[in-house]
Amino acid sequence: MVKNKECPVKDLADKAIICTNEEYHADRTAISSSGLRTIFQQSPAHFKYYQDNPKPPTPDMRIGTYTHSAILEPHIFAQSVVIDVGSRAAKAFKDAVEKHPNKLVMLTCEHEQAIKIRDAVFGHFSARNLLRDGMNEQSYFWTDPETGVKCKFRPDSIHPQKIGIDLKTCLSAKKHEFSNSIGKYRYDMQAAFYLEGLSQITGEQFSDFTFIVAEREAPYEVATFRLNDADLKRGLRDVKEALRLYAKCLEADMWPGYPQEIQPISAPRWLWNGE
């Protein structure tokens, strides 16, 4: 149990596994939120393929990684290598990657973009207050009590008032746009998974999750959103369903895709509007 119920973050520091972001993602003994969402939204076959054949990061994913480092791990970001080339295909960039395998190698324009997003986040009142006292980028592992599945998560930040925090970069931080993103990418499942992990690790109830959403283009506007309880409840329900399916696949070492039989299908409902 947590020694200080008002501020469990202090105890969470002792429970964290010390590892780099790269080491965390390389660990295949435990399943993450993204893995469970792939199983739930696509299929176990998709999860297994992506696990065995990792996708290279897209430009947007790289900016997200750099921005997270600039905001949440400034001591790491300060060690970044910045080179003045306009393309990742340039020989200078490839040489820098080979010369500095353990550092962030960035284009000058990427560095400038990450700095502008970082400054926008810390210039936003609620975002700044959420991150000011948080514990950032710690890795945790736990075992799901129902299935016995080993789980892992690396929350962007944990506020002392038992608030899980996730930083997202996107094209638009408008409320309705990010609401659509929650549905498309099942961020409700991610939030519920993180809170479940924190609750399991500490023995305390974590039930509050907030997103910090930063636009990656000028004027780099920022918004913060607290996910409502009904969405968290649905997200946890779907997480548990995905965990049960994953446990069965793991035990049988069988990773099914879509159904083999012919399925009935209908045109989308919007096609019938007005008829």
pLDDT in tens, 81-113: 788 777 888 888 888 888 887 788 888 888 999
Q: Give pLDDT < 70 ranges for the chain.
A: 1-10, 274-275
Which residues constitute the domain of residue 218? 9-56+125-257
Residue 263 lies in a domain: no
Residue 77 lies in a domain: no
Q: What is the pLDDT of residue 57?
A: 82
Rounded distance, CA 107 to CA 215, Å?
Answer: 19
Residue 249 lies in a domain: yes
**Contacts of 216 by beta carbon, 8 Å cutoff, 6+ apart:** 60, 63, 64, 67, 113, 117, 169, 170, 171
Which alpha helices (DSSP H) does the chain contain, by range?
9-15, 21-26, 33-41, 44-52, 59-72, 74-77, 91-99, 108-122, 125-132, 175-185, 187-202, 229-252
Rounded distance, CA 155 to CA 164, Å?
Answer: 7
Query: Which amino acid would we find at residue 228?
Result: N
Residue 215 lies in a domain: yes
Q: What is the pLDDT of residue 60?
A: 86
Residue 266 lies in a domain: no
**CATH number, domain containing residue 133:** 3.90.320.10
Residue with tokens 């190698």: 105
Please tell me the total number of residues recorded for the chain in this structure: 275
Residue 234 lies in a domain: yes
Rounded distance, CA 133 to CA 85, Å?
Answer: 37
Q: How many domains in the chain?
A: 1
Residue 83 lies in a domain: no
Residue 178 lies in a domain: yes
Residue 191 CA from chain centroid, whole number: 9
Q: CB–CB of 93/83 below 8 Å?
A: yes
Rounded distance, CA 210 to CA 158, Å?
Answer: 10
Phi, then psi, of 208 in degrees rounded to 5: -125, 125
Q: What is the pLDDT of residue 8?
A: 60
Q: What is the pLDDT of residue 177?
A: 97
